[in-house]
Structure formats: structure tokens, C-alpha cells
Amino acid sequence: KKRVVSGVQPTGSIHLGNYLGAIKNWIPLQNTYDTLFFIVDLHAITLPYETQQLSRATRDTAAIYLACGVDTSKASIFVQSHVRAHAELMWLLSSATPIGWLNKMIQFKEKSRKAGDENVAVALLTYPVLMASDILLYQSDFVPVGEDQKQHLELTRELAERVNYLYGGRKLKKLGGRGGAIFKVPEPLIPPAGARVMSLTDGLSKMSKSAPSDLSRINLLDSKDVIANKIKRCKTDSLSGLEFDNPERPECNNLLSVYQLISGKTKEEVAQECQNMNWGTFKVLLADSLIDHLHPIQIRYEEIISDSAYLDRVLAEGSKRAADIADATLNNVYQAMGFLRR
Ligand code: TYM
């Protein structure tokens, strides 16, 4: 079976972008692939954070995975820091990563600019190397993510090829070794729609956990009233009729796409249905379909988060299974890199 891995950071609350760009797309993959979904807590400490909130946010994120339909009879859910191989492989990979590759990362540039010099940790720069470890440890074939992770996936692929070249494959063969790739080179799975959900208050910037105004995003756990209010107040334009793909109308395109994905309709159906609508009518339609879609997820979330023994068991089983796979890869890498065997 081919393997799929992906994860979300336990920072702030999970929003519609995380759901439509990633989590929702994980669900059908469980039926075809061997799937592992992690909560990347080690990534969540790369910017200043509240220590008292990290473990709670980690549990919340796991409960949201389950509530959204990750099924533990098919998939494994685990916490990144519970599988020590992630941090360990990162060190080994760091030695094979040219610093120039990291300096080019758009997310690093953006996040470090926002954080200000004093808050730019070394880990913010080396973050993509940890992400590459998350993926390469499992010999993953596919990684379902939103558009903003594309560059990190590209780096992961290049790094896999570089390590295969330096320590496996061709070079080893030349030296009379057994050869063979150390890592599988993974491919991103970026959805045709929903890969970049935009802010509700500005159709030109992406919906994000860190945007200061909560009005800019729909959180998966927002109540009915909060969702209705956010949609009511979201940015629109003064043109009549609604349409996709008009570059002059980024908000319009974004809200129609959200409606399309949440309602399960096709783009053509939505284009037709909404072409003569005014904003007032559409906003009610959108808010109602969001509320209907998220309600069952919220009910399941409440059940899961209140059963801490169940959640603990899911995470313990998940990390045990993950560690078995990860340790095998890690041992291989140590060996290929020439370390003394334990
Ligand atoms: P994170 O926690 O920022 O986001 C989690 C997932 O949500 C997607 N996403 C979006 N998709 C559409 N529209 C948006 N506005 C939007 N905002 C976020 C992200 O693309 C992502 O798929 N580095 C990763 C976490 C990570 C990871 C991994 C992912 C660490 N290791 C290994 C896959 C495999 C991150 O910070 O995602």
C-alpha cells in the first residue's frame, strides 16, 4: 500500500483553511492508502507561544482530526514529539541541507519579518528540515497539504534526492556498496479548490491562525452565532451578481469557492445558482451551509474531547505504530551515514 502522511500545528484554533486545504482531503485517502496523521507540536514552538496552552491545543487538534472523520481503524493519529525519531532525523538531515535552501523559504521570510529580530529563533529557519523528517521517516508517497506548503514539499523532495545521492544509491554503488535509495521521494497532493482559502476581511491575504482579527477566519469550533456574524460582516464588493475567477473580485471568488466545497456542489452548479444573487442573499446561504456542515463535527468534537481516556489510547496506539516505521528508517540512515552501530 502506498503511504500518505500529513499534519497540522497545534497553534491557535483550526480554521476553515486548514480544513478545506488539508484535513477534509485526508478523509477519502484513508480508504486507499496507509495513512498517518500527526499533530506537529515541535513545529509549534518555533514562534513565541504559551507553554500552558501547548498540550491543550495538541489534544484539541487530535480531537478535531477524529471529529472530521479520521478513522483509527484505518489511519494512525499521533503527536510528533512522542516519536523521538522526528527530532533525531532532523539533526542528520540538517547536515545535508545547504543553508541557502532555507534562506529562500517564503514562509521563513514572512514569519521572520513579522516576528522581529529578537524573536526569530534558529528553529524558524530550520523548520522545513523538521518537516522533511516528518515525511521522509515514513517513506511517504503522498502528502496532502494546502498551497502554502508547496515550497516546503519541494525542499523535502530535493533533500531526499540529495541524501539518496550522498549516502545511498549511486555513490554507495560506486564504492562497492549495496546501493538503493534511503528515502522515497514524496509528492504533494494539493487540492484543485480550497488549497488557498482567503481571509474574510481581505480577499488578497490567506486565512491564517495568526492574523490578529478573529473576524478574518472561521474556526472549526465557532458557534452558530459567531459564524453568522463573521459572514455577515465579511468583506464583499459593490458589484451585482456573483462570479468565480474575476481577478478584480478576490472576495467573491473566495466566498463562492468556500460555498462550493462546503455544499459539495460543482463549480458550474454554484456559478449558475449564484450568478444573479445579491450579497445579502448569498451571505445567508453561505452562513447556513457552513453552520450545517460544521455542526456535526462540533458535536463529535465535544464527545471526543470529554473522553480523555479514549483520546490517550488513540495517541498511544498511533505513536507506537509510527515509531516502529520511523525507527526502521532512522536506523538505516545512521548506517548509511557511517555511524557506529549500537
Ligand atoms: P499549518 O499548521 O500552518 O497548516 C495545516 C494545513 O492547513 C493548510 N492551510 C491552508 N490551506 C488552505 N487555505 C489556507 N488559508 C490554509 N492555511 C493553512 C496548510 O497548507 C497545511 O496543509 N508545516 C505545516 C505542518 C507540517 C506538515 C508536516 C504538513 C509539519 N510537518 C509534514 C505535512 C507533512 C504547517 O505549518 O501547517
Mean pLDDT computed over 178-187:
84
Please state, rounded to an integer, the average pLDDT across all residues of the chain: 95
> Does residue 174 register a pLDDT over 70?
no
Q: Does 223 score more than 80 pLDDT?
A: yes
* Among protein residues, the one whose CA lies closest to atom 20 of ligand 1: 146
3-state secondary structure of 38: strand
Residue 115 is predicted with a pLDDT of 82
Residue nearest to atom 36 of ligand 1 (CA): 9
- pLDDT, position 342: 83
Q: How many helices (H) and strands (E) does the chain have?
A: 14, 5
Question: Is 111 among the catalytic positions?
Answer: yes
The whole-number pLDDT of residue 118 equals 82
Distance CA 120, CA 105 (A): 14
pLDDT surpasses 70 at 179: no
Residue of minimum CA distance from atom 5 in ligand 1: 8
Residue nearest to atom 14 of ligand 1 (CA): 17
Query: Is residue 117 a contact partner of residue 146, using CB atoms and an 8 Å limit?
Result: no
Q: Which residues line ligand 1 (CB under 6 A)?
A: 5-9, 17-18, 20-22, 40, 43, 131, 134-135, 143, 145-146, 148-149, 152, 195-197, 206-207
User: Catalytic site residue 209?
Assistant: yes
The closest-lying atom of ligand 1 relative to the alpha carbon of residue 194 is: 12
Q: Which residues have a Cβ under 8 Å from the Cβ of 279 and sit 6 or more positions away?
A: 236, 242
Could you tell me what percent of the chain has a pLDDT over 70?
96
From residue 188, alpha-carbon distances to 5, 33, 139, 245 in Å are 10, 14, 13, 24
Decide if pLDDT at 172 tops 90. no
Query: What is the percent of the chain with per-residue pLDDT over 90, rounded to a whole number?
Result: 92
CA of residue 173 to ligand 1 center, whole Å? 37
Residue 108 C-alpha cell reads as 521563513
Over residues 27-33, the mean pLDDT reads 98
Q: Please report how the helices 122-136 and 150-167 are oriented relative to each other, as an axis angle in degrees rounded to 10.
A: 70
pLDDT score recorded for residue 176 = 52
CA distance 257 to 289: 13
What dihedral angle (degrees, nearest 10) is formed by the CA atoms of 102, 107, 113, 118?
A: -60
Residues 122, 124, 130, 132: is their CA dihedral positive or negative? negative
Weakest-pLDDT range from 114-118, 134-138, 153-157, 227-231 = 114-118
DSSP-derived letter for residue 219 is B
Is the pLDDT at 319 greater than 70? The verdict is: yes
**What is the per-residue pLDDT for 109?**
93
Of 74, 150, 184, 209, the catalytic one is: 209
Surface-to-core class of residue 62, CB atoms within 10 Å of its CB (0-12 exposed, 13-18 middle, 19+ buried)? buried
Quick one: which atom of ligand 1 is closest to the CA of 207?
Answer: 15
Going by C-alpha positions, the residue among 49, 69, 64 that lies closest to residue 16 is 64
**pLDDT value at 170 more than 90:** no
Predicted pLDDT at 169: 65
Q: Atom 24, ligand 1: which residue's CA is nearest?
A: 8
- Mean pLDDT calculated for residue range 129-140: 98
Query: What would the pLDDT profile of 33-87 be if each residue is shown by its tens digit?
Result: 999 999 999 999 999 999 999 999 999 999 999 999 999 999 999 999 999 999 9
If you measure from the C-alpha of residue 195 to the centroid of ligand 1, how many angstroms do you get, rounded to a whole number? 10
pLDDT in tens, 95-110: 999 999 999 999 999 9
**Which strands form 75-79's sheet, in the order they lie side by side?**
75-79, 34-39, 3-8, 142-144, 187-189
pLDDT over 80 at 178, yes or no: no
Quote the CA–CA distance of 241 and 229 in Å, as a whole number. 22
pTM of the model: 0.96
| The pLDDT of residue 242 is above 90 | yes
Asked about 206 being catalytic, the answer comes back as yes
